[in-house]
Amino acid sequence: MKPRLLIVVESDPRTSGRPAEAIRVAAGVGTWKKVEVSLCLRGSAILSLAEYSDDWVDEDNFGRYLAILREWGRPVYVQAGAPELAELGEPLAPIEELSDAAWARLAAQSTHVLRF
């Protein structure tokens, strides 16, 4: 069984480069196909999936690396009921809403968890 890596992002892409870096890491590690990578965006980090990211810190990384994640055919997990979902518009990758309880189960089942 492959190790599981959960990357959790809570930073705001409008003010921090951490979301862009987390998405770059997810795409890079997942490309190896030696680790099962899941990306979970919570709170304002959900805006990383917004169609228009021209004002985000390191905006070039969003389109470039989200395209790689999209090719995997797996959703990006987002915090269920987060107000930022209403601001999202058409997301740059498929999403699946995850409750806090489901997020905790996913974290518990992961071999490694990185938090940005």
Domain containing residue 15: CATH number: 3.40.1260.10
Give the tens place of pLDDT for each residue, 50-98: 988 778 998 888 889 999 999 988 899 999 999 999 998 899 999 999 9
Higher pLDDT, 60 or 107: 107
Q: What is the pLDDT of residue 63?
A: 83
Question: How far is 45 from 32, CA to CA, in rounded Å?
Answer: 25
Nearest alpha carbon to residue 96 among 28, 49, 32: 49
Q: Which domain range does residue 50 map to?
A: 4-115
Chain centre distance of CA 34: 19
Where does residue 19 fall: left (phi above 0), alpha (psi -120 to 50 degrees), or beta otherwise?
alpha
DSSP 87: G
In this prediction the pTM is 0.94
pLDDT for the residue 40: 98
Identify whether the C-beta of residue 69 lies closer than 8 Å to the C-beta of residue 76. yes
Number of domains in the chain: 1
Mean pLDDT taken over the chain: 94
